[in-house]
Amino acid sequence: GDSVTQMEGPVTLSEEAFLTINCTYTATGYPSLFWYVQYPGEGLQLLLKATKADDKGSNKGFEATYRKETTSFHLEKGSVQVSDSAVYFCALSGATSGAQKLVFGQGTRLTINP
């Protein structure tokens, strides 16, 4: 079945550092790919998405590019802030799991120190 694998956390960086959180997926067909973020005390929120190969999703300075050849959707940000501290989840939908189900990775906890 479909699956998503994220780099293990926790990840700790200093403010203004460059961030990469790796995400790879296994799926048949052409899934849509997502990054969700969970800030402390809040519900999951959609951060960005890409629905076809080579699409780039972006939001709040974060970017991720849908790479079908490497089955990856790595999350990047050029200069992180303390307010980016959260848990980040990579997810997919629309492959064998069906369009209505999101399949999530295990999450990566990010802590940014001032």
* Residue 108 CB, nearest approach to another protein (Å): 10
Q: φ, ψ for residue 83 (rounded to 5)?
A: -70, -10
Candidates 65, 67, 86; CA nearest to 9 is 86
* Residue 53 CB, nearest approach to another protein (Å): 17
100 binds another protein (CB under 8 A): yes
27 binds another protein (CB under 8 A): no
* Residue 113 CB, nearest approach to another protein (Å): 22
User: Residue from 14, 20, 30, 46 that binds another protein (CB under 8 A)?
Assistant: 46
The Cα-based distances of 33 to 16, 27, 45, 65 in angstroms read: 26, 11, 14, 9
C-beta separation of 91 from 104 below 8 A: yes
Neighbours of 30 (CB within 10 A): 12
**In the complex with another protein, which residue's Cβ is closer, 106 or 111?**
106
**In the complex with another protein, which residue's Cβ is closer, 17 or 53?**
53
Binding site for another protein (CB under 8 A): 4, 36, 41-46, 89, 91, 94, 97-107
